[in-house]
Amino acid sequence: MTENFQFDQSRIDYIQKSFTNNFKFRFSLFKILPMGFLSGMKISKLTEEKCSVTVPYKRKNKNPFQSTFWAVLGMAAEMSSGALLIMFTHKQKPSVAMIIVNCTGNFVKKATDITTFTCSDGQKIKEAVKTAIQKEEPQLIECHMKGVNEAGEEVANFTFTWSVKARIKK
């Protein structure tokens, strides 16, 4: 067991700075998540408590009903929790595997302008990652995010359940 585990604040700071730098984040998306790059998704805020991700309504993102395609909204919602997970798992020793095991979404209103998804489960994620490393057991994290338009009206909400597991060599 890894009972005295501590997060390295410099790694957390590095991810925060890299992901909130639009050029660096967009370049990363281009390399590892091209659809995220094409959608125009960006991280507008990343702290240890929350992450906000915006996605515009534009020609490439819209559906035949003149709103943002549901999968584009889901991608932005996933990134709002995923960025928090990356922030707390980046270069961890032992490394931490993460995967989505469940997803639900509710669509409240047509998305016809910039939609911002915010996940405020940062501390819950941090504790689950720490527990996964300390106890050497997988942990499930249910993350909730709400998407709002520029007027602050709810457009959609998602729940992603992530599984995190420390890669312990035995």
| pLDDT for position 94 | 86
| pLDDT for position 125 | 97
Check residue 26 and give left, alpha or beta (phi > 0: left; psi -120 to 50: alpha). alpha
Question: Which stretches of the chain score pLDDT less than 70?
Answer: 1-3, 170
DSSP calls for 127-160: HHHHHHHHHTS-EEEEEEEEEE-TTS-EEEEEEE
Helix (H) or strand (E) holding 15: helix 9-20
pLDDT tens digits, one per residue of 117-139: 999 999 999 999 999 999 999 99
| pLDDT for position 7 | 84
| pLDDT for position 137 | 93
| pLDDT for position 169 | 77
